[in-house]
Amino acid sequence: MAILQVNVRPAARDGSHSRSQWREAGSHLVVHFDAPMHRNPYRTPSSSTASTQTQHSRPPVELQALPRAEESVASSPGQQTIFWTLTPDTTVGRALVSASQRLSEAGCDNPRLDAQVLLAHVLGQTRSWLFAHHEAKLTAQQAEAYTELVARRIAREPVAYLVGSREFYGLDFYVDPRVLIPRPETELLVDLALAQLEHRSMTRTVVADVGTGSGAIAVTLAVHAPTAQVYGLDISRDALDVARFNAERLAPGSRLHFLESDLLEALPEPADIIVANLPYVSEDEYAHLAPDIREHEPPAALVAGKRGLDVIQRFLAQVGEKVKPDGIVLMEIGSKQGEWVQQLAREMTPPPTYIGLRRDYSGHPRLVTLEF
């Protein structure tokens, strides 16, 4: 029987981030969240469990293992301790119920879904397989691997980082803490870009994806519009490594190029369509984000000054030289930034023939459209 003790500390008030430190002591797996964020939190499965998991090919940059604590862990004031016992012969159904309960107690938003996704990952199966095999028993290695992933989720590591993937527009993208996790609302940006590409299909179309991150937008556009010339731009070399890896897996042979660039500066030719999903979270909003985001996703991909407009403002200042006369710019923005961004566009770009604000599928203002 493996007994898991999880000591959960409140978020540090000084803004420092935390990661897990793992120690194996006899029959106990102990997780203590008190390590500075100086290591990559994605931990490659050990050889004893790798054969039971769905493996994603990894990017060229090696992911580092979590540090292991050398000293025993002791509870301290302010910690919440959760004990979870999981025997090696636990059934799939019992494991899901137990994990869901512990994740719920830890405050995770979707405990049942998280438990299912993590167990499916460990077993190398689909979620539907889990529902049809509730009585299947876990091996010792599977129980240990599942215990570890659930504990890390209790520490509020995002599920996408734990399993190394996130679906976006029907494609399975590799993600890790070097890049922001793609959001469903960003699919609207892709919908509008693809509509523009269809409208311009008779000519060679140049598309620029600014702040490409994991490459989710650029790769999706390249897959669905293979004749377009697509450029993915990002200032982060680490993010570009992930984007190139996703492109090799999902859009081999496409007319897709990734460039290290401060916004539009390195774009080699004017674009017909510019899509931009840039940092737009204000400093105050960032302080109140869920720990899943605030403590694990890259701050540089989220935060943009006091009002969340610093990066968008610099981007708009570059648009005039990089968009074609009949081009279009599509920008994702914060739900309260619509009027500000439209005013900045009027002041900082060549006079657009049209400025529009689109709502996302949840009804929130989400996209600003500039037509020239």
Q: Which fold has domain 170-371?
A: Rossmann fold (3.40.50)
pLDDT value at position 322?
98
Alpha-carbon distances of 104 from 4, 65, 109, 150, rounded to whole Å: 16, 27, 7, 11
Please give the single-letter amino acid code of residue 311: V
pLDDT value at position 225?
96
- Name the phi and psi angles at 227, rounded to 5: -85, -10
Check if 2-163 and 170-371 are the same fold.
no
Q: Please state whether the predicted TM-score (pTM) of the whole model is above 0.85.
A: no
pLDDT tens-place string over residues 112-152: 999 999 999 999 999 999 999 999 999 999 999 999 999 99
DSSP 9-27: PPPPTT---EEEEEEEETT
Residue 150 CB coordination number (10 Å): 30
In 25-133, alpha helices (H): 47-50, 92-105, 111-123, 127-132
Residue 189 burial by Cβ neighbours in a 10 Å radius (0-12, 13-18, 19+): buried
CA distance 124 to 54: 4
pLDDT value at position 203?
78
Would strands 365-371 and 323-332 be described as parallel, antiparallel, or unpaired? Answer: antiparallel
pLDDT value at position 87?
80
* Cβ proximity of 119 and 92 under 8 Å: yes
CA distance 308 to 12: 23
pLDDT value at position 86?
84
**Domain locations along the chain:** 2-163, 170-371
pLDDT value at position 82?
53
pLDDT tens-place string over residues 192-211: 999 999 998 777 899 999 99
pLDDT value at position 81?
54
pLDDT value at position 85?
66
> The domain 2-163 is classified under which CATH number: 1.10.3720.10, 1.10.8.10, 3.40.50.300, 3.40.1170.10?
1.10.8.10
Question: What three-state secondary structure class fits 191?
Answer: helix
Q: Which residues neighbour 157 within 8 Å (Cβ) at sequence distance 6 or greater?
A: 20, 41, 292, 296
pLDDT value at position 62?
36
Where b means 16+ CB within 10 Å and e means fewer, 190-209 reads: bebbbebbeebeeeebbbbb
Which residue is listed with tokens 């509008």?
A: 192
pLDDT value at position 301?
98
Q: Which conformational region is residue 231 in: left (phi greater than 0), alpha (psi within -120 to 50 degrees), or beta?
A: beta
pLDDT value at position 253?
93
Whose CA is closest to 211, among 230, 233, 193? 233
Q: What is the mean pLDDT of each run of 10 residues along the chain (372 residues)?
A: 42 37 33 33 32 42 31 38 73 97 95 98 98 97 95 97 98 99 97 96 91 99 97 99 99 97 99 99 97 97 98 98 97 97 97 96 95 97
The CA radius of gyration of the chain, in Å to the nearest whole number, is: 22
Q: Any bridge partners for residue 152, and if so which? A: none
Q: How far is CA 258 from the centre of its chain?
A: 19
- Percent of the chain at pLDDT above 90? 74
